[in-house]
Amino acid sequence: MAELLIAAESIVTAAQPGPISAVLSPGYVLIEDGWITAVGEGEPPRTPDEHLDHGVLAPGFIDLQVNGYYGVEFDAVDEADWRMVAGRLPETGTTAFVPTFITAPLPQLADTLKAAAHLIEQLSPGSTTSHARILGVHVEGPFINPVRGGAHNREWMTDPTPEAVGALLDAAQGHLTIMTLAPERPGALAAIRQLAGRGVLVSVGHSDALAWQVAKAADAGARMVTHLFNGQRPLHHREPGVAGQALADHRLTSGLIADFRHVAGPVTAIAFAAAPGRIALVTDAAASAGMPPGQYMLGGQPIELPAGDGVPPVRPDGTLAGSALRMDVAVSNMVSVGVSLPTAVAAATRIPADLINRPDLGRIAPGARADLTWLGTGLRAEATWLAGQRVH
């Protein structure tokens, strides 16, 4: 039985309140065959195999919205490209992610989902893995509102008929994890019930819905809001809109792009204060993430990454088109505006894991996968483990 004992000056467990504290200083983690079997505070029971003498050990990050990275757009569905990106994402502390496809013509989207389903099965890890886990796919569109379309092609947006939804479900072959749609479109509430009945996490996004329409979506089974404040009717003191209902409705957890360009720093802090335990950090990264300034693709159309640290890519008309964000930077950014480190880490780990029903991920606790990241200076990922194997 392969065993690894890691001792650290500080461990943020991201575990739910209970017998394991949120922060252990110092602490240790015992790993056997890729699974965490013991977690403790104080001195480890024997000489550790690895001792992390600074920074903090945290669960590996889980990103529910990634359009691409390192020059690769995921909807091209190329095995070598997907493998390369999944192999490099641990450099950012990310150990699991959901490739995201934006609006496309329905037949094209179905073909892309079929190819992605095959590829996900090809890349599924065994007992060990050298690349970030692929947790199904996130389809963002085409059942969204042109009024809040953002970087999506408005000509390809359409209503979610039972036939259209069924075609995408069938094409994904059980790998459709998240679907973003606008609940005000005709047929959307029935579509939410259809998708939720098949185990898909339904997220409200690119929507001009009023607050009551978002509440009806939650009644039908929606449990998430896509990139809070972006691509949606904003909060108004007389009409809460999508953003207001997302913060007020305890059934809804919101994705948040914490690059301080999509949402200003003080507003991200307001979101965490208004919806404790219901914010999931996402990158919404495009192919330009991790790359130098230049031209890339999103949804089959060009985007430009300007010069400047953390500046997001844009369409030719200046519309924001995804981000160039790293998950470790997202966590660091939230800490910089006053969110506690355990809260920020949970938003990048346990909260997204729980949203997609993966209690084996996103926490440092017995019975969880040994997917870990060591955050050092500036909370940047210095090392990452997948199933107990150091991969970065």
Bridge partners (DSSP) listed for residue 280: 255
Q: Are residues 49 and 72 in the same domain?
A: no
Answer whether 148's CB lies under 8 Å from 208's CB.
yes
pLDDT of residue 20: 77
In a domain, 368, yes or no: no
Q: Give burial (CB, 10 Å; 0-12/13-18/19+) of 217.
A: buried
Residue 385 falls inside a structural domain? yes
178 domain residue, yes or no: yes
My answer on whether 70 and 176 are in the same domain is: yes
Pair (72, 186) in one structural domain:
yes
Q: Is residue 370 part of a domain?
A: no
Is position 371 within any domain?
no
Phi and psi at 372, nearest 5°, equal -135, 155
- Which CATH number do you get for residue 186? 3.20.20.140
Answer whether 199's CB lies under 8 Å from 230's CB. Answer: no
Instruction: Tell whether 23 is covered by a domain.
Output: yes
Residue 364 lies in a domain: no
Pair (145, 10) in one structural domain? no
Radius of gyration, CA atoms only, the chain: 20
Q: Are residues 331 and 308 in the same domain?
A: yes
Which are the catalytic amino acids?
284
CB 130 within 8 A of CB 195: no
Contacts with 80 (C-beta within 8 Å, 6 or more apart), sequence order = none
Q: Is 330 helix (H, G, I), strand (E, B) or coil?
A: helix
Distance in angstroms (rounded) separating the CA atoms of residues 280 and 215: 19
Same domain for 35 and 144, yes or no, is: no
The number of folded domains in the chain is: 2
pLDDT at 381: 98
Give the relative orientation of helices 79-88 and 106-123 as an angle to the nearest 10 degrees.
60
| 275 lies in the same domain as 340 | yes
Tokens coding 115 = 């190819």
Determine the structural domain holding residue 17 and report its residue range: 3-57+376-390
- Helix 106-123 vs helix 162-172: crossing angle, to nearest 10: 30
Indicate if 13 and 157 belong to the same structural domain: no
pLDDT at 130: 85
Q: Same domain, yes or no, for 95 and 155?
A: yes
Q: Say what angle helices 241-248 and 211-220 make with each other, to 10 degrees.
A: 50
Pair 47, 137 in one domain: no
Residues 222 and 185 in one domain: yes
Q: What angle do CA 199, 202, 148 make, to 5 degrees?
A: 160
The verdict on 236 and 133 lying in the same domain is yes
Instruction: Walk along the chain (392 residues) and give the pLDDT tens digit of each residue.
Output: 589 999 999 999 998 877 777 999 999 999 999 999 999 999 999 999 999 999 999 999 999 999 999 999 999 999 999 999 999 999 999 999 999 999 999 999 999 999 999 999 999 866 557 899 999 999 999 999 999 999 999 999 999 999 999 999 999 999 999 999 999 999 999 999 999 999 999 999 999 999 999 999 999 999 999 999 999 999 999 999 999 999 999 999 999 999 999 999 999 999 999 999 999 999 999 999 999 999 999 998 999 999 988 899 999 999 999 999 999 999 999 999 999 999 999 999 999 999 999 999 999 999 999 999 999 999 999 999 999 999 99
Cα torsion angle, 169, 179, 203, 94, sign: positive
* 366 belongs to a structural domain: no
